[in-house]
């Protein structure tokens, strides 16, 4: 569904990712690890075309990224649910509207999806917080809300940047279970995380591939995980 081929990217002339290949096929489950600053977030941004590679090709859902106009990129992002590390909410809108934002942005009436939104809120344990504004939420609540927003359009690909960074272990397991469940529905999942315990836990539930980003290169992590 999303394929990176020979992709390189750097900031201010300093290469961060070099000649990288990655394919997120339907039903695949990947963890992306690596030290801070290794380029995990950058790699995710390349996957949903927030960044354009300096070199190499990216194709999404069978189309080369270079051929996608701005509307094409918008369409692509409706099929890719992203959980950002900093969540990125609109602080003036209540949680319910933030979660429904992808629906509104894609022209779908929120009322028609009221049941889906309620179910998602309930699943991530925020059913009593629908009217709260993002600044009123705790870190964990924000993370769960970000996941709910990423899933509202039932995307084909889920990219999550440290989704369990601000939640307790119990909630981490709940989030992982949801992502595993979505993966079993055929969705591709890529999670960037430092949390090796989470990776170990996931490997007992799903056939996950663990990729390590180091010195701009991507390799498959070994048995140490």
Q: x/- string (CB under 8 A) for other proteins, residues 134-163?
A: ---------------x---x----------
Q: How far apart are CA 184 and CA 88, in angstroms?
A: 27
Residue 114 makes contact with other proteins by CB under 8 A: no
The nearest distance, CB 171 to other proteins, in angstroms, is 23
Sign (positive or negative) of CA dihedral 101, 178, 176, 222: negative
Among the residues of 126-215, which ranges form H helices? Answer: 139-151, 169-184, 196-203
Cβ-based neighbour number of residue 180 at 10 Å: 16
Residue for token digits 């690890």? 33
Q: How many residues bind other proteins (CB under 8 A)?
A: 31
Q: Which of 1, 51, 95, 121 binds other proteins (CB under 8 A)?
A: 51
Instruction: Specify the residue, 68 or 198, whose C-beta has the smaller distance to other proteins.
Output: 68
Instruction: Specify the residue, 94 or 196, whose C-beta has the smaller distance to other proteins.
Output: 94
The nearest distance, CB 151 to other proteins, in angstroms, is 12
Question: CA end-to-end span of the chain, whole Å?
Answer: 27
Instruction: Specify the residue, 110 or 180, whose C-beta has the smaller distance to other proteins.
Output: 110
The nearest distance, CB 76 to other proteins, in angstroms, is 8
Under 8 Å between Cβ of 100 and 110: yes
The nearest distance, CB 46 to other proteins, in angstroms, is 11
- H or E element that contains 43: helix 40-47
Q: x/- string (CB under 8 A) for other proteins, residues 65-104?
A: -----xx-xxxxxx---x-x---xxxxxx---x---xx-x
Name the residue among 156, 5, 160 with its Cα closest to residue 87: 160
Cα dist. 161→111, 112, 122, 196, 215 in Å?
Answer: 30, 30, 22, 14, 19
Q: How far apart are CA 134 and CA 129, in angstroms?
A: 10
The nearest distance, CB 125 to other proteins, in angstroms, is 22
Residues that bind other proteins (CB under 8 A): 48-52, 70-71, 73-78, 82, 84, 88-93, 97, 101-102, 104-107, 110, 149, 153
């Amino acid at each position: 569904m999303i394929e990176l081929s020979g992709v390189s990217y750097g900031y201010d002339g300093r290469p961060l990712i070099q000649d990288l290949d990655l394919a997120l096929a339907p039903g695949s489950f990947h963890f992306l690890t690596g030290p801070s600053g290794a380029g995990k977030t950058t790699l995710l941004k390349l996957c949903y075309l927030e960044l354009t590679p300096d070199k190499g090709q990216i194709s999404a859902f069978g189309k080369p990224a270079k051929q996608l106009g701005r509307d094409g990129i918008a369409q692509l992002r409706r099929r890719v649910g992203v959980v950002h590390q900093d969540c990125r909410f609109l602080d003036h809108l209540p949680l319910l509207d933030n979660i429904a934002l992808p629906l509104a942005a894609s022209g779908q009436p929120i009322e028609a999806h009221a049941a889906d939104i309620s179910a998602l809120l309930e699943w991530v344990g925020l059913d009593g917080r629908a009217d709260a504004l993002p600044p009123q939420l705790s870190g964990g609540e924000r993370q769960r809300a970000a996941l709910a927003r990423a899933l509202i359009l039932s995307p084909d690909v889920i990219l999550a940047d440290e989704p369990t960074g601000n939640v307790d272990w119990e909630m981490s397991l709940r989030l992982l279970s949801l992502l595993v469940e979505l993966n079993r529905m055929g969705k591709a999942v890529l999670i960037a995380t430092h949390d090796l315990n989470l990776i170990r836990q996931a490997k007992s539930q799903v056939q996950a591939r663990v990729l390590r980003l180091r010195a701009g290169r991507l390799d498959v992590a070994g048995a140490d995980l």
